[in-house]
A and B are shown apart, each in its own frame.
Chain A
Amino acid sequence: EAAVTQSPRNKVTVTGGNVTLSCRQTNSHNYMYWYRQDTGHGLRLIHYSYGAGNLQIGDVPDGYKATRTTQEDFFLLLELASPSQTSLYFCASSHRARDTQYFGPGTRLLVL
C-alpha cells in the first residue's frame, strides 16, 4: 500500500506568519495533491503536480504556493498566513490521473 507521510501533524502560527507543510510519498507516484478539509465544504483541491518541477492550480489556490522538489516531496507554502487558512490539510498521491488517491494522515493548522 502507498505510504504518504505529512509533517508537522499539528501547527500553530500567528496571522502573517510563514508556514511550510511537507508531504512525502514513497511509492513512486507521479501525481501529488494538496487539499484542505473544512466542515461543510468537504475536501477542496489547493494545488497538484504531475511530476518534479510541475505545479497545477487547484480550486482554492489563493494564499497558497506549492513546490514539487522531487518525485517524492511536495510542499505547501503559506507565506502570510491568515485565520481563514485554519484548516485540516491533506496530501495525497496517485500513480496516474484518476487513479486511486492515497492520503496522508493530515496536518491540522491553526492561525491565530
Chain B
Amino acid sequence: AQTVTQSQPEMSVQEAETVTLSCTYDTSESDYYLFWYKQPPSRQMILVIRQEAYKQQNATENRFSVNFQKAAKSFSLKISDSQLGDAAMYFCAYRSPFTGANSKLTFGKGITLSVRP
C-alpha cells in the first residue's frame, strides 16, 4: 500500500517570502500521480499543483512549483512571494495510475501554513 508522509505539522512564513513544504511517499509503482491540495478554513479542498511521475520536468503553476525527486520519493512544494491568502492546510496526495479503488487519492496528514503580515 502506498503511504504519504508530511512530517512538519506547522510552518510559518513572512508575507512576500518563500516557503517550502515537504512530503515523502512510499510506493512500489513506477508510474503514478502526485498532488498538492490546499484546504483553507472554509474547508473546500482546492488542487494547487499536480505532477505525473513519468515527467522529469517539475510542475509549475504561477507562484507554486514542486521539486520532484523520484528516486528519493520526495515531492516538496515551494510557494514564492507568499500572500496572506496562502494561509491554509496543505495536503500532499498520491494517486495510482489505475481505476477503481486503486485510483483513490492517498493523503498525508497535512501541514498548517500561516502567513505573517
Partners in one complex: no
List residues of chain A with CB under 8 Å of any chain B CB. none
